[in-house]
Amino acid sequence: MEITTDMIKELRAATSAPVLDCRKALQEANGDFQKAVDYLREKGMATAAKRADRVASNGVVELYSHGGGRVGVMVEVNCETDFVARSEQFRTLAHEIALQIAASAPKYIRAEEVPAAELEHEKEIARARAREEGKPDNVLDKIVEGRLEKYKDEVCLLRQTYIRDESLTIEKLILQNVAAIGENVVVRRFQRWELGESTSQE
């Protein structure tokens, strides 16, 4: 099938990928637009993963207030250059991450940060619940493991389902942006406050 300039333009507009990559994706997908988008996303994700070890020391501290000041979020998102830090795409991503934190109240950025004691506590709860539900002993470990993974999906920002698109996790959303921006992007730290919540010092 002949790949036209219009097809390349349309794909480039949808993915922000370079012209040559768009042409190759359309050739690989035999002109199928959706397959070409998938091809570019997969290629971009692979490239993004390779960028993960590059130093990201520029970026933005995004502030977000929700519900008339009932919830406040501050998140530091880093990239490699000041040029990208000022770009609309990067700032939009930082804003989306702040929205996610406000809506889904994660406790950690990644699963490795969850303290072992907290995981142990969750394991005990999951095991007790499974026993109470009358689950047989030979499947308890599997059930406990499954519930522990679900717990990590809830409390770890990168593993949470993106509030605007259930087919994406926040990690995948970031990887898509890394692929489009061409730089490593890192969520460095965040803080979420909710009006009236008690602090550990109280």
Domain boundaries, the chain: 5-51, 58-104+170-193, 115-154
Q: In the CATH scheme, what is the homologous superfamily, with its name and number, of domain 58-104+170-193?
A: Elongation factor Ts, dimerisation domain (3.30.479.20)
What is the pTM (predicted TM-score) of this model? 0.71
Select from 1.10.10.60, 1.10.8.10, 3.30.1360.10, 3.30.930.10 the CATH code of 5-51. Answer: 1.10.8.10
26 exposure class (CB count in 10 Å sphere: 0-12, 13-18, 19+): buried
The top-scoring range by mean pLDDT among 19-23, 96-100, 177-181 is 96-100
Mean model confidence pLDDT for the chain = 87
193 pLDDT higher than 90: yes
Cβ atoms of 129 and 172 within 8 Å: the answer is: no
Residue 51 has a pLDDT of 61
202 pLDDT higher than 50: no
Which residues, other chains included, contact 104 with Cβ-Cβ below 8 Å and sequence gap of 6+? Answer: 154, 157, 160, 163
Task: Mention the CATH class of domain 115-154.
Answer: mainly alpha
